[in-house]
């Protein structure tokens, strides 16, 4: 069995000890950190999602996979980071109210930080007032909103509307992402940037800062 396949299997099994060991073994054998992330871990979470949909996996099992994924990503993080010294800009980011998914958002945070952004991560289930207060406090260049559920996409729209109504949106770029979000929806709700994955999120954020 290939290194990557055995990593995917340990992720699906939610076996954090086996997973972290296999990730370390693959790194020691010379496998690239971003290959492990995209081809074994993110690919594995897609399989978990499919099994969740068909009822082959239940929430506690999905949660174990998610927690194991977090531990594996922590091992890869320093290797994926470019570690730029100066701040590329300030970002306030969170998963919108009603939504508890944070694996993808955490990857976006990791990529932004490794590109030199100063990131304030508000976590999950972030209500609109928390966004508004933090924007006032931090004066960010970019606000990031993540949503993984079709049922929380309207909260993304509402959050942007309230940011704009408060006047705090002036001069700030809003970036959105998450599996059910696409470019058309982003445009419709008034977001400035849509990013389909963590890599393009940091690339587009950098481009936006130099625009
Ligand atoms: Co949830 N869940 N979940 N879940 N879950 C999905 C999203 C689902 C598609 C599974 C399925 O049915 N196939 C489905 C949504 C269906 C829909 O809305 N149409 C679903 C459901 C239904 C639910 C519950 C309602 C289940 C229930 O209770 N009956 C419940 C909701 C809880 C809530 O949020 N209120 C629920 C709960 C959970 C867990 C808690 C068990 C767990 C989350 C743990 C955690 O995040 N800490 C969980 C998980 C793990 C998933 C799946 C399996 C994996 C999500 C994930 O981490 N993917 C997911 C199925 C799937 O996506 N295949 C599913 C890997 C991650 C790297 O990708 O998050 O897409 P992703 O992030 C990418 C991009 O989207 C992008 O970059 C990231 C990295 O490349 N991106 C951004 C994300 N945010 C961005 C922000 C940006 C830019 C890019 O700018 C700011």
Domains of the chain: 2-82 (1.10.1240.10), 88-209 (3.40.50.280)
Strand partners, 94: 145
Ligand 1 proximity of 105 Cβ (cutoff 6 Å)? yes
Query: What average pLDDT values come out for the chain (211 residues) when binned by 10 residues?
Result: 89 96 96 92 88 88 90 89 68 98 91 85 98 97 98 98 95 97 98 92 90 75
What distance in angstroms lies between residue 181's CA and the mean position of ligand 1's atoms?
12
Q: What is the pLDDT of residue 83?
A: 52
Q: What is the pLDDT of residue 116?
A: 80
Atom of ligand 1 at shortest distance to CA of 46?
63
What distance in angstroms lies between residue 24's CA and the mean position of ligand 1's atoms?
26
Atom of ligand 1 at shortest distance to CA of 144?
91
User: How would you class 121 by CB atoms within 10 Å of its CB: exposed for 0-12, middle for 13-18, buried for 19 or more?
Assistant: buried
Ligand 1 proximity of 169 Cβ (cutoff 6 Å)? no
Ligand 1 proximity of 149 Cβ (cutoff 6 Å)? yes
Ligand 1 proximity of 28 Cβ (cutoff 6 Å)? no
What distance in angstroms lies between residue 72's CA and the mean position of ligand 1's atoms?
17
Strand partners, 142: 91, 173
| Cβ-contact 175, 146 below 8 angstroms | no
* CA gap 40, 115 in Å, rounded: 23
- C-beta neighbour count of 70 within 10 angstroms: 13
Atom of ligand 1 at shortest distance to CA of 105?
84
Q: What is the pLDDT of residue 3?
A: 87
What distance in angstroms lies between residue 128's CA and the mean position of ligand 1's atoms?
20
Question: What token pair was written down for 60?
Answer: 């506690």
Locus of tokens 């260049």: 141
| Cβ-contact 11, 65 below 8 angstroms | yes
What distance in angstroms lies between residue 50's CA and the mean position of ligand 1's atoms?
11
What distance in angstroms lies between residue 75's CA and the mean position of ligand 1's atoms?
22
Atom of ligand 1 at shortest distance to CA of 100?
34
Ligand 1 proximity of 48 Cβ (cutoff 6 Å)? yes
Atom of ligand 1 at shortest distance to CA of 62?
41
Helix 103-114, helix 59-80: angle, nearest 10: 10
pTM of the model: 0.89
Question: What token pair was written down for 73?
Answer: 């990503």
């Amino acid at each position: 069995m290939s290194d990557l396949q055995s990593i995917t299997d340990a992720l699906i099994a939610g076996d954090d000890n086996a997973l972290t060991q296999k990730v370390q073994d693959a790194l020691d054998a010379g496998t690239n950190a971003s290959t492990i992330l995209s081809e074994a871990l993110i690919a594995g979470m897609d399989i978990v999602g499919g099994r969740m949909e068909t009822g082959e996996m239940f929430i506690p099992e999905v949660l174990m996979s998610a927690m194991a994924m977090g531990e594996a990503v922590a091992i890869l993080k320093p290797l994926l980071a470019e570690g730029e010294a100066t701040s590329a800009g300030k970002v306030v980011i969170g998963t919108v109210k009603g939504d508890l998914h944070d694996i993808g958002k955490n990857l976006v945070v990791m990529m932004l930080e490794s590109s030199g952004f100063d990131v304030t991560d508000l976590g999950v289930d972030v209500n609109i007032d928390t966004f508004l207060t933090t924007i006032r406090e931090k004066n960010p260049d970019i606000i990031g909103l993540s949503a993984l559920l079709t049922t929380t996409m309207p909260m993304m729209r509402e959050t942007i509307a309230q940011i704009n109504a408060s006047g705090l949106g002036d001069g700030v770029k809003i970036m959105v992402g998450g599996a059910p979000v696409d470019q058309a929806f982003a445009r419709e709700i008034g977001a400035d940037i849509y990013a389909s994955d963590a890599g393009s999120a940091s690339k587009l954020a950098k481009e936006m800062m130099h625009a």
